[in-house]
Amino acid sequence: GARQRADLCNESLMLEKLPACGKSFEEMMKKVDSKKWCNLTEFIMYYDNFTQCTEREANNASCFWPNPLAEGFITGIHKQFFSNCTSEKVHWEDPPDEILITLILIPVMLTCAMITLVVWCSKRSDIL
């Protein structure tokens, strides 16, 4: 009854091993120009290796993945490498005037046509 379960998560072992994944990722990211760090296609393989490493180390420590400690570590790596990768705000523009006028006039004309049809039909109720 006092025996510990073999599958109990060893968080200290996991936290000891995860920095090796970060170090490896850091070495691989040195191959990528820092101006391209926000372009995922430039380093997707390195990031995949990093993710697999963190998952492997968590599993080796009998921890599930992701877990709050591993996520905290991964977030730290994100802050280190990707903190300047903010999404640019989309600058919305109106369509060209020809398209805008068409998009406005079509519903207005359809509304007028429907009103005319309703009025005409209501005046001709004796036939219907």
30-41 mean pLDDT: 90
pLDDT exceeding 90 applies to what percent of the chain?
Answer: 70
For 60-82, what is each residue's pLDDT tens digit? 999 999 899 999 999 999 999 99
For 36-61, what is each residue's pLDDT tens digit? 998 989 999 999 999 999 999 999 99
Locus of tokens 């372009």:
39
Per-residue tokens: 107? 């519903």
Query: Cβ(18)–Cβ(57) under 8 Å?
Result: yes
Verdict on whether the full-model pTM lies above 0.85: no
Residue 4's pLDDT band (cuts 50, 70, 90) = very low
